[in-house]
Chains A and B, each alone.
Chain A
Amino acid sequence: MPADPAETSLDPAPEYPPELSRLPPGRHGLPREFVVHNQRERLIAGLAEAVAENGYASTTIAHITRHAAVSRRTFYEHFDSKDACFVAAYDTVMDELRERVGGAFEAEKDWPRAIKAGIGAMLAFLAAEPNLARLCMVEALVAGPVVVERYDAAIQSLVPYFEEGRKGRSREVLARLSPTTEEALVGGMVSLISRRIFAGRTAELESLLPDLAEFALTPYLGSTEAAKIAREK
């Protein structure tokens, strides 16, 4: 097995952490805070790459530091363990995803189109970032109970977007919506998306938008209206 460059080449000059070698040579004059922040982001990106390559279970800290091009020592300045690094990565990705989904949802006035926009934003983000998609939708379930709990909570946090669809519906429609409708809809969508990512078909995700929008809207609008909005544009 070839020696890990992140492990071997870095020890001799601890006063020159390797990450600085990627910054312009000489007195880079960057404030320490910037460097630290930059290191942390690189470690997170490095973890996402390493996990995409090896799967979470087989990923080692050496894999992560190699992808991030930082030393092992730097890794431990930021994180206690691989698990801790994963949690940080997961939270970063989910914050971003939440912001995009929330932003897209808020930008549309009427609820059915807001739902469609929210789903669209989620699919676009995941399709554009296949490593992060795998990290937060597939590997999260492998990464231990702390992450699994966050994963479950993140999916559950989508429920209120759907519950808004109950507002202003006729009593007849409301009587037909059962308490678990939103939970099942969200779970169904996430299942389909995760399975595509697991199968390495992340690039296809955006083409699922009409199907997912129709599926999500049908209980509220009926299938004719749901299909119409889902297939718009």
Chain B
Amino acid sequence: MFVNQKDSPMRPPPGRQQLSREFISRFQRERIVSALAEETMVKGYQAVTVADIVRRAGIARNTFYENFSSKEACFLAAQDYAAEEAFRRVVEAAAEIESWQGRVDAGLTAFLAAVAEEPELARICFVEAHSAGAAAKQRYEESLQTFFPLFKVGRKVSPHGEKLPETLEESVVGGVYWIIYNRIVEGKTEELESLRGELVEFSLTPYIGAKAAKKVASGTKK
């Protein structure tokens, strides 16, 4: 539905002009990013136009271009926003926990919750990123890589840590991403949180063995 800019909630209400420019701009950017994500969910990124985004966000075309130079720039901002937010939540969830196993459990739980809460953004990051150009693909790669060091700590916990395959973290994170990808493609993101235990087991098994991994996953940990 077309929303005239005059009626748009983007426009600060009269008499409340003290809202900082920075606040408005951040709010606008988030709104535009959400609009892109919603449109992408409906028709796929390739088919989305700036006009679609503008219409859904209820802003003027100029406002879009004040914030982003192109549809692609907006897509990349969506990826950045989602990846930063998810990573922040993972780190926050894991911060207080002493054992590495417990941190993996808490971190994965937070990550899956972030994906399930924002299915549109998740689709951008896990699905559309593969076909949205080289810069988007690069960001996908970087988002995978942010998790490698967190898993690598497990080598110190593992009784055979020095013998583990060099590429183990890549396969583990790749496997978790694939499970998420499939659920998004099938429109079953709400299933993800119930897969927490299985993914914790999958991630921990190479480091501490299946028996200990199962124990962590089933909640018999501190």
Contact = CB atoms under 8 A, between A and B. Distances in A.
Interface of A: 57, 141-142, 145, 152, 155, 173, 175-181, 183-192, 195, 198, 208, 210-212, 214-215, 218-219, 222-224, 227, 230
5 contacts: A145-B44, A178-B201, A187-B181, A188-B171, A198-B137
Contact of B178 (A179, A188, A198): A188
Nearest to B128: A141
A223 B159 CA distance: 11
A61 B219 CA distance: 57
B167 A192 contact: yes
- Interface SS, B side: helix
Interface in B184-216: 185, 195, 197-199, 201-202, 205-206, 209-211, 213-214
Contacts of A191: 144, 170-171, 173-175, 177-178
A118 B46 CA distance: 36
Contacts of A175: 214
B163 interface: yes
Interface residues of B, number: 40
Of listed B175, B181, B197, residue having the most chain A CB within 10 A: B175
A227 B159 CA distance: 14
Interface string B98-109: 000000000000
A192 B174 CA distance: 7
A183 B195 CA distance: 12
B177 A152 contact: no
Contacts of A189: 171, 174
A176 B181 contact: no
Contacts of A230: 165
Nearest to A181: B202
B131 A141 contact: yes
A191 B164 CA distance: 18
B70 to A, nearest CB: 15
A211 B210 contact: no
Given A191-B173, A211-B167, 8 more contacts: A176-B201, A176-B205, A178-B197, A179-B198, A192-B171, A215-B165, A218-B205, A219-B202
Of listed B167, B176, B195, residue having the most chain A CB within 10 A: B167
For the complex of A and B, 9 pairs with smallest distance between CB atoms: A187-B178, A191-B174, A188-B175, A211-B165, A184-B175, A188-B171, A141-B130, A178-B198, A176-B210
Given A142-B131, A178-B197, A181-B202, A223 B44 contact: no
Interface string B31-44: 00000000000001
A214 B182 contact: no
A59 B206 CA distance: 42
Contacts of B131: 57, 141-142
